[in-house]
């Protein structure tokens, strides 16, 4: 198995896999055009024979924060290390870009603990994530995801102030 940066030719596989988990709200639905526009954010895992196994993306908010998102592997690749390899590659990419804070929202926090992530009790501490995605999430009013961060929680935000994020979190809970 190998991990590499995605290319436009991978967009269909990424689109199909990510959206296969959007019906129940596990992942946010992504338009094919959005996947294509953001293909450089994605890293994929593939078998030695070149079969697509999974993907993950690193979204850069700025020098203060980035987010691991859309990390998912095909059922046949689960428990075979593909997810861990993708995550390690995304963490390395964050470090290469000099970003020390990596966040994510998940329903499977135990997987991420072993990679140095910790729980963030107050989601409004990550206002860039909230302003980027949470407002469009079908589960906004009943969020069941765990916010996590690797590194320190940033002291700044570029998409909106923490006070507004706190209000949005309050209204959603």
| pTM exceeds 0.75 for this model | yes
**All domains of the chain in start order, with CATH:** 2-172 (3.40.630.30)
pLDDT on residue 9: 97
Lookup result for tokens 């916010």: 147
**Which pLDDT score, from 0 to 100, does residue 124 have?**
77
Nearest C-alpha neighbor of 25 from the set 139, 147, 141: 139
Q: Secondary structure of the chain in the HEC alphabet?
A: CEEEECCHHHHHHHHHHHHHCCCCCCCCCCCHHHHHHCHHHEEEEECCCCCEEEEEEEEEEECCEEEEEEEEECHHHCCCCHHHHHHHHHHHHHHHCCCCCEEEEECCHHHHHCCCCEECCCHHHCHHHHHHCHHHCCCHHHCCCEEEEECCCCCCCCCCCHHHHHHHHHHHC
Distances (CA, A) of 36 to 9, 11, 137: 9, 6, 21
Per-residue pLDDT for the chain (173 aa), expressed as one digit of tens each?
999 999 999 999 999 999 998 777 677 788 999 999 999 999 999 999 999 999 999 999 988 899 999 999 999 988 899 999 999 999 999 999 999 899 999 988 999 999 999 999 888 788 777 766 666 666 656 677 889 999 998 877 766 555 554 554 555 55
Position 140 scores a pLDDT of 59
């Amino acid at each position: 198995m190998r991990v590499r940066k995605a290319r436009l030719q991978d967009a269909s596989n990424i689109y199909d896999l990510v959206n296969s988990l959007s019906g129940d709200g596990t992942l946010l639905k992504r338009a094919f055009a959005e996947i294509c526009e953001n293909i450089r954010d994605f890293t994929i895992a593939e078998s030695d024979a070149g079969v697509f196994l999974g993907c993950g993306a690193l979204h850069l908010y700025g020098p203060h924060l980035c987010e691991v998102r859309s990390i998912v592997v095909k059922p046949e690749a689960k428990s075979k290390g593909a997810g861990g390899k993708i995550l390690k590659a995304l963490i390395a990419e964050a470090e290469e870009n000099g970003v020390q804070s990596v966040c994510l929202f998940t329903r499977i926090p135990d997987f991420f603990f072993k990679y140095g992530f910790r729980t963030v009790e107050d989601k409004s501490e990550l206002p860039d994530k909230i302003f980027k995605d949470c407002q469009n999430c079908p589960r906004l009013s009943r969020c069941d995801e765990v916010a996590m961060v690797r590194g320190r929680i940033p002291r700044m935000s570029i998409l909106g102030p923490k006070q507004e994020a706190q209000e949005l979190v309050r209204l959603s809970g």
